[in-house]
Amino acid sequence: MEDKFLFAFSNNLKFLIGDMSISEFAKKVDIPQQTISRYLLCQREITLHNLCKIADYFEEDIDFLIGRKQ
């Protein structure tokens, strides 16, 4: 994933998580907390499987999550 998409994903995920703790969100989407933290810090590319889990949880389009649509 290009850096601009990593950055957009990180920002969009931060926005969508809002006031929820990373730990709570990680449990809800069944993704390890450390993995979510790395996504938020742009330190790890997201897998397609996890991208789908997050998109489904928030009922958002994948293109929105990675910054291809607004």
pLDDT, residue 1, reads: 57
Q: Is residue 21 part of a domain?
A: yes
Please tell me the total count of domains within the chain. Answer: 1
Distance CA 11, CA 59 (A): 17
3-state secondary structure of 56: helix
Instruction: Write out the residue range of the structural domain in which residue 16 sits.
Output: 3-65
pLDDT band at 3 (very low <50, low <70, confident <90, very high): confident
pLDDT band at 69 (very low <50, low <70, confident <90, very high): confident
CATH code, 12: 1.10.260.40
Mean pLDDT of 45-54: 96
Q: Is residue 49 part of a domain?
A: yes
**Is the full-model pTM beyond 0.85?**
yes
Q: Is residue 27 part of a domain?
A: yes
pLDDT at 45 over 80: yes
Q: Is residue 23 part of a domain?
A: yes
Q: Is residue 45 part of a domain?
A: yes
pLDDT band at 60 (very low <50, low <70, confident <90, very high): very high
Q: Is residue 70 part of a domain?
A: no
CA distances from residue 22 to 6, 8, 27, 52 in whole angstroms, order as listed: 18, 18, 9, 18
